[in-house]
A and B are shown apart, each in its own frame.
Chain A
């Protein structure tokens, strides 16, 4: 059973460009969350998708947008890239069950460098 997969592994962009990162959730999972981890810091929640809709959003500008597809995979899009967007972007998936706690499983991340 494949875990959470992300692509690409590494990405280099220049300021002002746009980028799309991709995530495939663990088999059986229907909820995808995205986190940004800047160098030397803890991950910060960007947003969460369930049933193809953004369910909750962290404190990130509208330049950050996402999408969830019918097969539960997800994309993170960042427009007008800034140097400060350089970070490891982590995707986490979980299953929305009846209980309130659902363990999130993390992918290996996509390392984005903005020059």
Chain B
């Protein structure tokens, strides 16, 4: 079985500051890793994914994440945030070779202040 822990439930940050949202996972099998964003009253949008290869993954809206297998982490970063980045962010895993069932963390609320 897999599990995902998002270490911060809320992250307040000022506009144009850098941000890191932390994610750790646990799994006895190899997994794919994802970050999704959810804006108010909307569904989930895929920000980026790690399937294999380079451990540094770049996504949409200037976000990137680094897969660290030894620390079982997949932290999300952005060098300079905008007000429009205010949203809920979810880290997720799915078992490789499985049916793409996603296991999500509890989410991190990113609040960008002017």
Contact = CB atoms under 8 A, between A and B. Distances in A.
A94 B100 contact: yes
Interface in B65-114: 90, 92, 96-107
Looking at chain A's contact residues, the main secondary structure is: loop
Interface residues of B, number: 25
A63 interface: no
A108 B45 CA distance: 10
Contacts of A8: none
B43 A104 contact: no
Nearest to B42: A108
Interface of B: 4, 32, 36, 41-46, 49, 51, 90, 92, 96-107
Interface of A: 4, 33, 35, 40-45, 48, 55-56, 58, 90, 92, 94, 100-104, 106-109
29 contacts: A35-B102, A41-B106, A41-B107, A42-B4, A42-B105, A42-B107, A43-B90, A43-B104, A45-B101, A45-B102, A48-B99, A48-B100, A55-B99, A56-B99, A92-B44, A94-B100, A101-B32, A101-B49, A101-B100, A103-B49, A104-B100, A106-B36, A106-B43, A106-B44, A106-B45, A107-B43, A108-B41, A108-B42, A109-B43
